[in-house]
Amino acid sequence: MQLKINSNVTKITLAAMLLALAWVLPFLTGQIPEIGRMLLPMHIPAFLAGLLLGPKYGLMLGFLMPITRSLIFTMPPIYPTATAMAFELAAYGFFSGLLFYYLNQYKLRFIVNVYISLLVAMLAGRIVWGLVYSMLGLFGNLFTFQMFITGALIIAWPGMIVQCIIIPIVMQTLKHAELLDALPE
């Protein structure tokens, strides 16, 4: 599945819109950082980049979103938060795009394809985040499995639920508006 208008101009325009969205969405939760860590607003455009533009754009945009936001707005801090997020969001964009396009070949129902791609990409991105955090030496050698579970799942579960609601709705809306190539229902 790809955008119906498959021109480079369309892809670059949508990429710019998703990048801008990644810069703006955290302002909704910026006054209360704990809420931002729970709702993960920058993750939504990264997943959409992969699903709408494919794995290459998803990887590139996912990596650029936290780094450029950090450079422009100084939040999240470039090290370690934006650095770890860059790899995490790059994994989200890459795996969601890769799986979405790969699963499309099997003629799964559209919404099933979206959910499988989203959930597997969530898992892959969280694993990448844990690996990067442990390699950055944030906690010395003390980055434990319990810390990983707490950061990746326990704190983030509200955001994961929001993503599982919003992203399929956006994708289904684009499909019904006939902005995506036709897929079996």
pLDDT at 33: 67
Token digits for 9? Answer: 């101009």
pLDDT above 60 (res 185): no
Closest CA to 47 of 168, 185, 173, 177: 168
Q: Which is more confidently placed, 145 or 68?
A: 68
Domain ranges of the chain: 8-176
Assess whether the previous peptide bond of 80 is cis (omega < 30° from 0): yes
Averaged pLDDT score across all residues of the chain: 85
pLDDT at 182: 46
Q: Which is more confidently placed, 146 or 50?
A: 50
pLDDT above 50 (res 183): no
Q: How far apart are CA 59 and CA 167, in angstroms?
A: 17
pLDDT at 123: 93
pLDDT above 60 (res 8): yes
8-176 maps to CATH 1.10.1760.20: yes
pLDDT above 90 (res 129): no
Q: Which is more confidently placed, 41 or 140?
A: 41
- The least confident of 32-36, 38-42, 66-70, 111-115 is 32-36
User: Rounded to two decimals, what is the model's pTM?
Assistant: 0.88
3-state secondary structure of 138: strand
pLDDT at 106: 85
Across the range 96-112, mean pLDDT stands at 90
pLDDT at 184: 37
Across the range 37-56, mean pLDDT stands at 92
Q: How far apart are CA 60 and CA 86, in angstroms?
A: 9
pLDDT above 90 (res 144): no
Q: What percent of the chain has pLDDT over 90?
A: 54
pLDDT at 164: 95
Closest CA to 181 of 91, 117, 122, 100: 100
Neighbours of 142 (CB within 10 A): 9
